[in-house]
Amino acid sequence: MTPKTHSTPRQATKAAVMPNWALMGGVIFLGAAAFAGQVFAESHEEVIVAHGISTYGSLKYTADFKHLDYVNPDAPKGGEMSIWMMGTFDTMNPYATQEGTPGALASIAVERLFAGTADEVGSSYCYLCTTIEYPESKDWVIFNLRDDVTFSDGVPMTAEDIVFSHNLLIEQGTRSFATAVAQLIVNVEALDEHRVKFTFADDIPRSGLIEQAGATPAFPKHWYEETGARLDEARFEVAPGTGPYMLDGYKINEEITYKRNPNFWGADHPINVGQNNFDSFRVEYFADTTAAFEGFKAGAFAFRQENSSLNWATAYDFPALEKGWVKKETIANGNLPGAYGFLFNLQNPKFEDIRVRQAIALMYNFTWTNDNLQYGLFDQRESFWQNSDMQAKGKPEGLELEYLERVKDLIDPAILSEEVTMPHTSGERQLDRGNLRKALALMEEAGWTAGADGMLVNDKGETFKLEFLGYSPTFDRIMLPYIENLKALGIDAVWNRIDTAQYTERTNNGDFDMIYDGYRNGLEEGEGLGQRYGTSGVGDVFNPARYSSPAADALIEIVKEATTREEMAAGVRALDRVMRKELFVVPAWYLANYWVAYYDMYEHPEELPPYDMGYMSFWWYNAEKGEALRQAGAFQ
């Protein structure tokens, strides 16, 4: 389960927030096989002492590991990593998701009890702790905290800070997070200065509970009590953190800078060896993507992750690249592609009839869009868990079918026997006439018929109006042909591009018809599914479509109760099949790689890990190359 850390528009540079290992604790992982250390008796129940915990497997790294395999332990420290962000910000509190737009990297100083790695799935290691203790029943867990962790103001972290942090998130955190976690964790107490115990609720699945406890961040109790600050308020005053970086300065809507914490407690921690290599980070803000690209070409910032196929295919021919100042690189991405597409606001009554959603989906032509507008660089997404063993395929069978049988009274019976719902196919022309005829028939069945002017109206004579909401001018070329196709169907469709602050406010409040957005899923699933796809998540920022289904709720519970990876994956496949049938996101495109360009002063390990590009954590700065670029006039 993930407390929301920023509410910048969801398409914009999501990767540029924190290293993956620092975020792993913020995601619920289903199941927990116990590993390691010493086992001893206490109250007739065996208690396991371990340096971490893994899901369905074993930890890769032993308790005495020196550094992560994918880092360069001898990477030099120094230099600046500079990136960009589009839009604006009006707070530096990353948890103020309903009151403002936090600045990029605003959570950079926040660390959690557990840390993950970029070369494993589902492994969590003690980070702010040395070991954990838990019984085989997993009714509770004790974190034995490190005694050398300090906040950036020099105050030591203690068990009381962790208790305070948990309670603060329950009281003032994101609603879906607070509600769900309060049902899982019934008590958190400090046993002494460096031991904190989490007790879990009775009669709930034990899978993922220890990992959820390990996701608890370290907030400074003394600072919140002294200042009276709230976790959910928009403010520029920043709480001290335990992390390697701290806020250095900002110019509202122009620039944010972060600097290395000179007294960072964890510089020699094995997790950190070869990481946190930059002395500072700088985020340059731009009003739109065109201005940002021009800024990059001129050297206003030095690292760019490209998300425009147009730019990638045609625009990387500028002088800095031709002179060898800039490198262009494609890097494999082993993570699941985001389940993105054209997303319906299901709380809008006009989308209640699935035939309406099906008709609108038929008007999107992926084939023509990809071939003519995206240079054939993408594939069409089919599944919410694309390219994994959790992607539903063909007809259901085995354990997946068994799970679907349990909810057969809640789903379309065809799901039990038919091939999984796939994205519709389209022809090579922008307007596929076959799909147009199917869409017209569906709209007529749903009560929308063509009037004298060809526009679809209901029995009250009302025209079907549809607003696509967005903020990026780079989407104009994608959206306008889709709008034209919808108009050919008889829908009064418009593409309304607004500024990022308005976009954030309207989408957070559910004030939209359709947007290009989606969901981020994991390679292992558990409690967090309810936050994204469960009824409890409706109206929350993690469930942008406001999706809710009794069948989905039931299948989510099955996944949460799984004790093996096979059970978990089968439950997710069943959920995938049901959600694809209900069509609340029109599947769009995905890319299995990162496209990056950067000035040739940054370097990275030859072999990158599968689950994190790591440019903000285990890349480094080559001072000699940087000076040569400056002397050559590469930067503004």
Smallest CA-to-CA distance from 603 within 38, 72, 16 is with: 72
CATH 3.10.105.10 domain residues, the chain: 349-590
Give the residue-averaged pLDDT of 201-221.
93
Distance CA 155, CA 265 (A): 11
Distance CA 226, CA 237 (A): 13
Distance CA 364, CA 583 (A): 13
- What is the pLDDT, as a whole number, of residue 26? 34
- What is the pLDDT, as a whole number, of residue 27? 33
Greater pLDDT, 115 or 4: 115
Task: State the DSSP code for 456.
Answer: E
- What is the pLDDT, as a whole number, of residue 55? 83
> Is residue 5 scored above 80 in pLDDT?
no
Give the residue-averaged pLDDT of 379-390.
96
**437-471 pLDDT tens trace:** 999 999 999 999 999 899 999 999 999 999 999 99
Give the residue-averaged pLDDT of 193-216.
94
**566-622 pLDDT tens trace:** 999 999 999 999 999 999 999 999 999 999 999 999 999 999 999 999 999 999 999
Sheet holding 114-115, edge to edge: 52-54, 123-126, 114-115
In the block, residue with structure tokens 């997070």:
177
Give Cβ neighbours of residue 452 (< 8 Å, ≥ 6 apart).
Answer: none
Architecture of domain 20-227: 3-Layer(aba) Sandwich (3.40)
Strand bridging mode 456-457 / 195-200: unpaired
Greater pLDDT, 400 or 16: 400
Q: Sort 175 into a burial class: Cβ within 10 Å, 0-12 / 13-18 / 19+.
A: middle
Q: Sorting pLDDT into bands at 50, 70 and 90, what band is 178?
A: confident
Distance CA 110, CA 108 (A): 6
**20-71 pLDDT tens trace:** 333 333 333 222 333 333 333 345 679 999 999 998 878 999 999 999 999 9
The average confidence (pLDDT) of the chain is: 91
Give the residue-averaged pLDDT of 104-125.
96
Give the residue-averaged pLDDT of 166-183.
90
Least confident of 34-38, 309-313, 339-343: 34-38
- What is the pLDDT, as a whole number, of residue 363? 98
CA 110 to chain centre: 17
Q: Sorting pLDDT into bands at 50, 70 and 90, what band is 234?
A: very high
**246-263 pLDDT tens trace:** 999 999 999 999 999 999
Give the residue-averaged pLDDT of 276-299.
96
Q: Sorting pLDDT into bands at 50, 70 and 90, what band is 161?
A: very high
User: What is the topology classification, in CATH, of domain 349-590?
Assistant: Dipeptide-binding Protein; domain 3 (3.10.105)
- What is the pLDDT, as a whole number, of residue 528? 87
- What is the pLDDT, as a whole number, of residue 184? 93
Smallest CA-to-CA distance from 600 within 323, 294, 309 is with: 323
- What is the pLDDT, as a whole number, of residue 542? 87
Name the token pair of 509: 């409040």
3-state secondary structure of 379: strand
CATH 3.40.190.10 domain residues, the chain: 20-227
Greater pLDDT, 20 or 299: 299
What backbone phi and psi angles, to 5 degrees, belong to 249?
180, 170
- What is the pLDDT, as a whole number, of residue 44? 64
